[in-house]
Amino acid sequence: MLCSSLFTMEAADKKDLVDYVNPLVGSQSKISLSTGNTYPAIAMPWGMNFWMPQTGKMGDGWAYTYDADKIRGFKQTHQPSPWINDYGQFAIMPVTGKVVFNQDKRASWFSHKAEVAKPNYYRVYLADHDVVTEITPTERAAMFRFTFPESDNSYVIVDAFDRGSYVKIIPEENKIIGYTTRNSGGVPQNFRNYFVVVFDKPFTYKATVGDDEIRKGETEAKENHTGAIIGFSTRKGEIVHARVASSFISPEQAEQNLKELGGRSFDEVAEAGRQVWNETLGRIAVEDNDVDKLRTFYSCLYRSLLFPRSFYELDANGKVVHYSPYNGEVLPGYMFTDTGFWDTFRCLFPFLNLMYPDMNTKMQEGLANTYKESGFLPEWASPGHRGCMVGNNSASVVADAYLKGLRGYDIETLWEAVVHGANSVHPKVKSTGRLGYEYYNELGYVPYNVKINESAARTLEYAYDDWAIYKLGKALGKPESEIAIFAKHAMNYKNLFDPETKLMRGRNEDGSFQSPFNPLKWGDAFTEGNSWHYTWSVFHDPQGLINLMGGKVG
């Protein structure tokens, strides 16, 4: 039986808790069967940039799967889930032999027996190229350590990916700079992730790539899909380092972020990351004789400390600034992203309020900035507003933080934000704000027959969120005349209860309960509902679960 207890930070620090973490847990997944849909994020807690070995093709949401046997590159990633996918990504890959760029041709066989994955460190042997690759990160930078074989044809590829990218090789500085614009939505027109890669070995070969065409001797390319290749002769066991950083603000800020590495060696950066992870994980010390339980717990805790992602940077004066994924401007203050409040309002954010209140205080400031820059609080952000899931649970995230005692941020702006979000919907992103709020405010529920999917689920979540807003208003000392409406609307959940079935059921606009669906065949459900949620409901309990969800989901 798992026995846990909370200790002081000093007590927890005596253990190397990071050694219990296995970032590969949950990665044996695919679109048809999830065991977690995770990838090994080599990153600092709440870091701006993550790194990962890439086994999937460019653009594949399942970018690393445990069953794969080839690595195509080592990708800087910002992906919160395969469904939301990635943005601002680029990859680095060492190769030997023939000069190649194509992701299939450069891919190398690897074995998990020659792979080490920790939050602060990753190592793998690329068998086809006889190269050992190691990575250790900071919040916005990383260091690579390549151990090459004896070869006159050793190369490193920088793949800036497609959908608009740029690279430039600067041989006199052993440097490659560039940017990628690749994204999956939720970005302004001027979105770019600027990167810089600096090597500690002079180049004897250089080439740029434009849409798979390798152009030997050229040093600059700007096309749909660009990349750079640099090369050199290496002795057996020769180590080459690459220092990498990126910025959403500017090329100059990418260079500033590179300073996070300082003059430290690879091992020093890895050890510093290890200490940070031990301290952060050490907020909770678990005692148990079963090491598998410890591994499970700390692997899950590691996942809980990755998101929401820091989306802010420190300028040359140490000032906190961020590129706004909402209006495209560079502005002062904190910004966080890559999280959806659907479900995390129930677990992750209350957990952060209890165990990491200083971090969530910054996140609350980031939420206030999101409202100032976009007119809405986020419901799913990656990096800007994304259309996904239902509910207005930003209200709960804001209320829970304040009610648990967090202070030192602009709560009045957040109060304005939650009230605004309860009475409006984003003009372009229908999952932000409250879709159907007019019906909800007038009738006390979102009707089933007005072509708004998940009507019952929306009603139930809006009612809970109104309760959260009311409790926040009370704590802020808002007059009853201002907050009484939220207390009233918090009871709207009762409007969906059907005494006959003892279930919550969607109601039509005229007040009648929706008619039960006729049971469908398994295959028909995919066509009718176009969603595995709907399919599961129809197959198992058409009158119960479908009614509970207020119709088809997806």
The full DSSP string for 120-181 is TEEEEEETTTTEEEEEEE-SSEEEEEEEE-SEEEEEEEEE--SSSEEEEEEGGGTEEEEEE-
pLDDT at 515: 78
Is the pLDDT at 378 greater than 70? The verdict is yes
Going through 174-300 in order, the beta strands assigned E by DSSP cover: 175-180, 193-199, 205-210, 213-216, 220-223, 226-234, 238-247, 285-287
List, for residues 512-551, the tens digit of each pLDDT value. Answer: 998 765 444 434 333 333 333 333 333 333 333 334 334 3
List, for residues 239-250, the tens digit of each pLDDT value. Answer: 999 999 999 999
Token reading at 383: 């990096």
pLDDT at 212: 86
The pLDDT of 18-39, averaged and rounded, is 95
Look at residues 16, 20, 243 and name the one whose alpha carbon lies nearest to residue 140: 243
User: Which range has the top average pLDDT, 14-18, 108-112, 549-553?
Assistant: 108-112
> How far is 455 from 504, CA to CA, in rounded Å?
11
pLDDT at 517: 56
Is the pLDDT at 332 greater than 80? The verdict is yes
Q: Could you tell me if 453 and 534 are in contact, meaning their C-beta atoms sit under 8 angstroms apart? A: no
Q: Could you tell me if 156 and 198 are in contact, meaning their C-beta atoms sit under 8 angstroms apart? A: no
pLDDT at 15: 67
Task: Give exposure, 85-100, as e/b (b: 16+ Cβ within 10 Å).
Answer: bbbbbbbbbbbbeebb
Is the pLDDT at 33 greater than 70? The verdict is yes
The pLDDT of 190-213, averaged and rounded, is 97
The pLDDT of 170-190, averaged and rounded, is 98
Residue 164's pLDDT band (boundaries 50, 70, 90)? very high
Residue 14's pLDDT band (boundaries 50, 70, 90)? low
Please tell me the CATH code under which domain 92-263 is placed.
2.70.98.10
In terms of DSSP bridges, do strands 121-126 and 131-137 run parallel, antiparallel, or are they unpaired? antiparallel
Report the mean per-residue pLDDT for the chain: 92
Mean pLDDT is lowest, of 9-13, 316-320, 510-514, for 9-13
Is the pLDDT at 9 greater than 50? The verdict is no
Is the pLDDT at 11 greater than 50? The verdict is no
Helix (H, G, I), strand (E, B) or coil at 59: coil
Is the pLDDT at 469 greater than 90? The verdict is yes
> How far is 539 from 107, CA to CA, in rounded Å?
42
Sign of CA dihedral 273, 277, 278, 279: positive
Q: Is 405 left (phi over 0), alpha (psi -120 to 50) or beta?
A: left
Helix (H, G, I), strand (E, B) or coil at 231: strand
Q: How far is CA 118 from the centre of its chain?
A: 18
- Domains of the chain, by residue range, sit at 1-38+291-306, 92-263, 340-496
pLDDT at 3: 41
> How far is 468 from 398, CA to CA, in rounded Å?
9
pLDDT at 309: 98
pLDDT at 516: 66
Exposed / middle / buried, residue 390 (Cβ in 10 Å: 0-12, 13-18, 19+): buried
> How far is 344 from 229, CA to CA, in rounded Å?
42
Is the pLDDT at 294 greater than 50? The verdict is yes
The residue assigned the tokens 């998940």 is 454
pLDDT at 524: 37
pLDDT at 533: 37
Is the pLDDT at 119 greater than 70? The verdict is yes
Asked if CATH classification 1.20.1050.60 holds for the domain at 340-496, the reply, yes or no, is yes
List, for residues 343-366, the tens digit of each pLDDT value. Answer: 899 999 999 999 999 999 999 999
Q: Could you tell me if 506 and 544 are in contact, meaning their C-beta atoms sit under 8 angstroms apart? A: no
Exposed / middle / buried, residue 159 (Cβ in 10 Å: 0-12, 13-18, 19+): buried
Q: Could you tell me if 80 and 339 are in contact, meaning their C-beta atoms sit under 8 angstroms apart? A: yes
The pLDDT of 427-436, averaged and rounded, is 97
**DSSP at 112:** G
> How far is 188 from 195, CA to CA, in rounded Å?
19
Helix (H, G, I), strand (E, B) or coil at 53: strand
Q: Could you tell me if 5 and 18 are in contact, meaning their C-beta atoms sit under 8 angstroms apart? A: no
- What is the number of other CB atoms lying within 10 angstroms of the CB of residue 200? 10
The residue assigned the tokens 């809006």 is 462
In this structure, the chain runs to a length of 554
Residue 447's pLDDT band (boundaries 50, 70, 90)? very high
Amino acid at residue number 346: R
Token reading at 528: 């009718």
CA 272 to each of CA 146, 173, 260: distance values in angstroms, whole numbers, following the listed order:
20, 27, 11
